[in-house]
Amino acid sequence: MFGILRALADVIVVGASTVRNEGYGPPRPNREHAAAREAAGQRPVPVIAVVSRSLAVDFTSPLFTEAIVPTIVITCEQARPEGLEAAAKYGDVILAGRDRVDFALALDALAERGLTRQLTEGGPHVLAQIAASGRLDELCLTIGPLLTAGPADRILAGPTLTPPQPMHPISLLEEDGSLFARYVRPERDRTTQSTT
């Protein structure tokens, strides 16, 4: 399921903390999806767009140095100058907002680059900010067959959404005990191309 979502995406938006914690590397071409991406006019792999206000990112990691398509860094105007210099050396930089990243501006800037199929892989702070900007139009949620305990974040970590944003279920798949649910905002056309 995750491979299909990535295969459909022009860009994968992910927070710097998730990049660090999960050891993100650059996407690699997938033979299974190559023809479909080419027919859709897409690059061989989706672009990764890393969101970071502080620019505390390892720009010498494979995500930047071995990417088939240049990695994008989304930050704000108040980012550290030395961080901006490093980001510009290894990737394409989008300045979206003055003191913090403005996600509406950031997603618009990606769309202006032709990256309209936008997939967000996290983390919870990035997802919350995209939802707060009114741009979360689709949610793909995986529920695994594991019972655990302990402190846990919600899928959105940020200010309360007021009012809460209703989502409409449009599909539910099961594989090996895991459930894959797909929700869209009720006003959305079900044939939309973006996935978050």
pLDDT tens by residue, 16-27? 999 999 999 999
**Separation between Cα atoms, residue 130 and residue 11, nearest integer Å:** 15
Can you give the pTM of this predicted structure? 0.90
Report how far residue 121's alpha carbon sits from residue 119's, in angstroms, rounded to the nearest whole number.
6
**Which residue is it, tokens 């491979």?**
3
Q: Report whether 63 contacts 50 (CB < 8 A).
A: yes
Report yes or no on 102 lying in a domain.
yes
More confident residue, 48 or 190: 48
Evaluate the omega torsion of the peptide bond into residue 97 and state whether it is cis, within 30 degrees of 0: no
> What pLDDT shows up at residue 154?
86
pLDDT band for position 196 (cuts 50, 70, 90): low
Domain region containing 120: 2-184
CA–CA dist 85, 82 (Å, integer): 5
Q: What pLDDT shows up at residue 188?
A: 62
In a domain, 33, yes or no: yes
Instruction: State the pLDDT at residue 124.
Output: 94
Mean pLDDT value of segment 80-104: 95
The model's pLDDT over 108-165, given as tens digits with 9 standing for 90+, comes to 999 999 999 999 998 999 999 999 999 999 999 999 999 999 988 889 998 888 889 9
CA distance 91 to 70: 5
Q: Which amino acid is at 1?
A: M
pLDDT exceeds cutoff 50 at 33: yes
Is 192 a member of any domain?
no
**Above 60 in pLDDT, residue 191?**
no
Q: Is residue 76 part of a domain?
A: yes
Number of domains, the chain = 1
Q: How far is CA 189 from CA 11, 27, 192, in A?
A: 21, 29, 6
54 pLDDT more than 90:
yes
pLDDT at 189 over 60: no
Asked if residue 195 is part of any domain, the answer here is no
Q: Is residue 92 domain-resident?
A: yes
Question: What is the reported pLDDT for 69?
Answer: 94
Q: Residue 194 domain-assigned? A: no
Q: Tell whether the model's pLDDT for residue 192 goes beyond 80.
A: no
Place 67 in a pLDDT band, splitting at 50, 70 and 90.
Answer: very high
pLDDT-derived band of residue 4, with 50, 70 and 90 as boundaries? confident
CATH number at residue 7: 3.40.430.10
In a domain, 190, yes or no: no
Specify whether the CB–CB gap between 97 and 174 falls below 8 A: no
Give CA torsion, residues 147, 124, 177, 165, to 10 deg.
110
In this prediction, residue 91 carries a pLDDT of: 85
